[in-house]
Structure 1
Amino acid sequence: MFQRILIATDGSTLSRKAVASGIALAAQHGADLVALTVVPRYPKAYFDGAMVFAPDDIARIEKQWAVAAEETLAAVATRAKSSGVKVKTVTVSSDLVAESIVAAAKKHKCDLIVMASHGRKGIKRLLLGSETQHVLTHSTLPVLVLR
């Protein structure tokens, strides 16, 4: 049924559960996997909620985030390969997480997006928004949300 599945992950505990389910689904369907993580850029302005750091410090922090993202994707790739699933890893640097997920799914010709719901409720959800909700409302592909 599915030929290529995109799994969006941020390395969190809930996201790792979604990765496991996505890999199992890919193995069941004989589908290829695209493992994606979106690395945000460091906010540089006061109004972005950042403390002011020197440009070298910002570059160091962004590099740490990129290394952590690569480690997360390497773990996904190892797990997928051990399950006999062909996997491609993709890292995107963007502040537009949901848009990056939808764009990557289209670019890699995926027919399903798998991701976790972080389960924010009440005022936190209103204030912080939901990347998962944004993907659900803007994707033309099916989206499997795991909790």
Structure 2
Amino acid sequence: MYRKILITTDGSAVSQHTACAGVKFAQQMGAEVLVLFVAPEYQYPVYVEIVPPAYPSEVEYIEQMQRMGQETMGSVLRSAQECGLKHTCLTAFSDAAALKIVDVAEQQDCDLIFMGSHGRSGWGQLLLGSVTNKVLSQTSKPVLVHRLIREPGS
């Protein structure tokens, strides 16, 4: 039914559990997996003339976020390997995570977006995470929203 499933993760424990559930779902469907981590865009210092010495350059920031993306997606990729699935990972940069998720799903020809109902967006996401809500409203692709009954480790 689904050939290629986009699975998102933001690095939170809930998101990691959701992503691994996405891999299990992909295994049942016999689908390829694309794991996506969306990092925020580089923020230039407000006062460019006075850059603090510890402030990373744009290149350093991009390299750091690439490493963070690889670490974040590592357990999901290991899970996909263990399931014998064809898999790839991608770190993308955007301050509008939901729009980037939709764009990547379109560009990569994904049949389904698999994501959690809660990430690390805070207490205001009582029913459905804000990124998930925005993805649902911005895409015509099917979105499977995975919701954990209880927090990981409880």
* Equivalent in the alignment of 2:151: none
TM-score, reference length from structure 2: 0.78
3-state SS, counterpart of residue 84 of structure 2: coil
With over 3 angstroms needed to count, the CA separation of the structure-2 counterparts of 1:138 and 1:62, relative to structure 1, is: same
Kindly indicate whether the alpha-carbon contact (under 8 Å) linking 2:118 and 2:125 is maintained by their aligned counterparts in 1: no
C-alpha offsets along residues 66-92 of structure 1, whole Å, 9 cap, x if unaligned? 311111223221110111111011110
Call closer, same or farther: CA 1:43–1:55 in 2, change over 3 Å: farther
| TM-score with structure 1 setting the length | 0.81
5+ residue gaps in structure 1?
47-51
Q: Once the 2 structures are TM-superposed, how far is the Cα of residue 121 of structure 1 from its aligned partner? A: 8.0
What RMSD in Å do the two structures reach over aligned CA positions?
2.6
* Residues 1:131 and 2:149 are matched in the alignment: no
Matches of 1:121 and 1:40 in 2, distance apart? 17
Gap change, CA 1:55 and 1:40, over 3 Å in 2: farther
Distance 1:11-1:57 versus aligned 2 partners, 3 A rule: same
1:32 corresponds to which letter in structure 2? E
Q: Tell me the equivalent position of 2:55.
A: 57
Q: Which runs of 5+ in 2 are unaligned?
A: 148-154
Percent identity of equivalent pairs = 37
Count matched residues.
139
Report what 2:15 is aligned to: 15
Q: Give the aligned partner of residue 111 of structure 1.
A: 111
